[in-house]
């Protein structure tokens, strides 16, 4: 059993990161193994839901895009063009919930990467949307295309990460060309479901075309199922801005899945109470979902929330707090009331990958898991409340994500597992190291850690007293060093390159705001 150990600590870690494990656990299609935990009694969930419908009906939502207001009006909502306010009757909102699909197939670049999005599915994404990247070797810096590409490769490497979000912002690529570079990196370095920003119709149409052609799809095939996704944040309180409204329309028309996510920090852009913040978040989510169904009944859309609190002394956002957990649990109850798949988030406000960072991500991730979230974003690497993605934290958090994935697997309890024979064989005070029951199973019985070092203090000290963060540096460098992009035809790559060259020459597509 000690035969596999080789060389020093670093050598062993790297070997472990690269060797194909004997133990094969399918981390690709996870179903949440935990009973959902509630924050509220059922009658208070209903009260929050009713209050949100009252918000939509009587207080209204400001919708900045004229086309969206026209769609709402055509769907029966009362629209005040002067104030840009839209008042959505509860019958309209609930009809939209009824027509939204409850199970959404997601088509990736390879069939084993396809996903099914529903209540009960458990899909992990790494941290997303950060302006900065950081690692122990190169320090904290504005994100670059190289960082983005590397982080996509790390996302591709881990089976327990299921979608590729816009991890960081490649600020060295000009905004009118950035979506080409990002989509190119995601398509060529990963065969997982790509995320696309909704930054105006021209960029979105470029991205749809790139995904469609790289996947070798006809227009009809592309629109028949979701081949990419976007995240739509409302501008809380009670506002949907132009690119977000346009995204809701464009993605719904094209049948590409929309993950609706009001970002409601309690005490800042939302009421200070969990119940109040969720009332607002629920109303905004329903408004966005309603628009998608007015565009195209049956358009794939998820419910979602990102509700945490601020530090009331400084106004700074906080994550991994008990209030965030409670908001996640309450959102899960609201999602189940609607019957829709939904998105929740982990997260940390720590500035480095220290004990605070790990605790905050764990607490918020467990909150999302126990809330029954279908998609858990920011589950690895996200620090500074989203201002950086840390390469090391991505690795150390993956230990947590992989443990969640392991917990989805059944715990065998056949008579052979109960092991009465082995128990009879080993005498009192003996040990099971060499028993037949152990020998048959020892290579595959246990999860092999990604970054944890279980050596004792003396051995660990002799090997250089290397902490988890520093070990993580070795691991991500090893993964990147060995990275092989998934197979795809040269013709597709050539076509993609040509498309980007042509569109860039035509001036690209600046983001809209």
Distance CA 279, CA 287 (A): 12
Smaller CB separation from its own copies, 253 or 441? 441
Host H or E run for residue 62: strand 61-63
Task: Respond yes or no on whether the N-terminal peptide bond of residue 237 is cis (omega within 30° of 0).
Answer: yes
How much helix, strand and coil, in percent to the nearest 5, is found in the chain? 45, 15, 40
Binding of its own copies by 260 (CB under 8 A): no
Binds its own copies by CB under 8 A, chosen from 10, 28, 29, 51: 51
Binding of its own copies by 266 (CB under 8 A): yes
Strand partners, 135: 139
Show the binding pattern over residues 206-245: x = contacts its own copies (CB under 8 A), - = does not.
-----------------------------x-xxx------
Binding of its own copies by 87 (CB under 8 A): no
Binding of its own copies by 270 (CB under 8 A): yes
Binds its own copies by CB under 8 A, chosen from 10, 15, 28, 44: 44
Binding of its own copies by 477 (CB under 8 A): no
Binding of its own copies by 359 (CB under 8 A): yes
Binding of its own copies by 331 (CB under 8 A): no
Stretch that binds its own copies, among 116-124, 203-211, 402-410, 476-484 (CB under 8 A): 402-410
Residues in CB range of 327: below 8 A, 6 or more apart: 39, 266, 274, 277, 278, 305, 307, 308
Smaller CB separation from its own copies, 221 or 421? 421
Distance CA 403, CA 398 (A): 8
Binds its own copies by CB under 8 A, chosen from 74, 110, 205, 418: 418
Which positions from 102 through 141 interact with its own copies, judged by CB under 8 A?
140
Q: Using an 8 Å Cβ cutoff, are 211 and 187 in contact?
A: yes
> In the block, which residue shows the tokens 């591709």?
156
Residues in CB range of 498: below 8 A, 6 or more apart: none
Which positions from 53 through 72 interact with its own copies, judged by CB under 8 A?
54-55, 59, 61-62
Stretch that binds its own copies, among 163-171, 188-196, 310-318, 336-344 (CB under 8 A): 310-318
Stretch that binds its own copies, among 187-195, 290-298, 361-369, 485-493 (CB under 8 A): 361-369
Among 146, 207, 187, smallest CA distance to 492 is for 187
Binding of its own copies by 436 (CB under 8 A): no
Binding of its own copies by 473 (CB under 8 A): no
Among 253, 255, 256, 230, smallest CA distance to 243 is for 230
Binds its own copies by CB under 8 A, chosen from 393, 475, 476, 503: 393
| Least distance in angstroms from the C-beta of 452 to its own copies | 5
Alpha helices of 385-489 — where are they, by DSSP H?
391-408, 415-418, 420-425, 436-439, 457-462, 468-481
Among 385, 332, 327, smallest CA distance to 361 is for 385
Binding of its own copies by 366 (CB under 8 A): yes
């Amino acid at each position: 059993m000690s035969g596999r150990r080789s060389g020093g600590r670093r050598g062993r870690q790297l070997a472990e990161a690269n060797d194909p494990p004997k133990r094969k656990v399918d981390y690709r299609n996870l179903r949440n193994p935990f009973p959902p935990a509630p924050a509220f009694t059922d009658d208070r969930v209903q009260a929050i839901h009713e209050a949100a419908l009252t918000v939509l009906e009587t207080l209204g939502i400001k919708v900045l895009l004229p086309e969206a207001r026209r769609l709402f009006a055509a769907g029966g909502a009362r629209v005040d063009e002067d104030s840009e306010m839209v008042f959505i009757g509860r019958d309209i909102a609930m009809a939209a919930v009824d027509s939204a699909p409850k199970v959404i197939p997601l088509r990736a670049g390879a069939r084993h990467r396809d996903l099914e999005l529903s209540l009960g599915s458990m899909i992990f994404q790494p941290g997303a949307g950060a302006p900065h990247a950081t690692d122990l070797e190169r320090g904290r810096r504005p994100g670059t295309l190289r960082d983005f590409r590397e982080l996509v490769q790390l996302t591709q490497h881990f089976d327990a990460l299921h979608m590729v979000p816009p991890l960081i912002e490649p600020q060295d690529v000009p905004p009118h060309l950035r979506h080409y570079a990002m989509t190119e990196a995601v398509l060529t370095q990963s065969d997982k479901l790509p995320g696309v920003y909704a930054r105006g119709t021209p960029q979105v149409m470029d991205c749809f075309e790139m995904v469609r052609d790289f996947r070798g799809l006809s227009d009809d095939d592309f629109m028949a199922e979701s081949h990419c996704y976007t995240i739509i944040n409302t501008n809380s309180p009670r506002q949907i801005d132009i690119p977000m409204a346009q995204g809701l329309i464009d993605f719904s028309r094209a049948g590409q899945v929309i993950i609706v996510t009001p970002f409601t920090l309690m005490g800042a852009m939302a009421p200070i109470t969990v119940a109040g913040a969720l009332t607002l978040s629920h109303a905004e989510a329903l408004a966005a979902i309603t628009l998608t169904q007015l565009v195209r009944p049956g358009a794939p859309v998820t419910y979602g929330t990102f509700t945490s609190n601020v530090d009331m002394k400084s106004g700074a956002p906080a994550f991994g707090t008990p209030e965030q957990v409670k908001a996640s649990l309450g959102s899960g109850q609201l999602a189940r009331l609607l019957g829709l798949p939904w998105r929740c988030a982990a997260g940390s406000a720590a500035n480095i990958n220290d004990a605070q960072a790990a605790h905050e991500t764990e607490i918020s991730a467990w909150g999302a898991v126990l809330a029954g979230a279908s998609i858990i974003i920011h589950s690895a690497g996200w620090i500074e409340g989203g201002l950086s993605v840390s390469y090391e934290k991505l690795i150390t958090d993956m230990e947590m994500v992989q443990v969640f994935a392991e917990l989805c697997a059944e715990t065998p309890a056949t008579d052979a597992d109960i092991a009465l024979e082995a128990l009879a064989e080993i005498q009192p005070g003996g040990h099971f190291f060499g028993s037949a029951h152990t020998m048959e199973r020892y290579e595959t019985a246990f999860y092999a850690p990604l970054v944890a070092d279980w050596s004792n203090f003396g051995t660990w000290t002799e090997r250089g007293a290397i902490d988890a963060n520093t070990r993580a540096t070795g691991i991500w460098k090893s993964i990147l060093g060995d990275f092989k992009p998934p197979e795809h035809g040269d013709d597709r790559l050539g076509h993609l390159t040509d498309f980007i060259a042509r569109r860039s020459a035509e001036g690209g597509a600046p983001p809209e705001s």
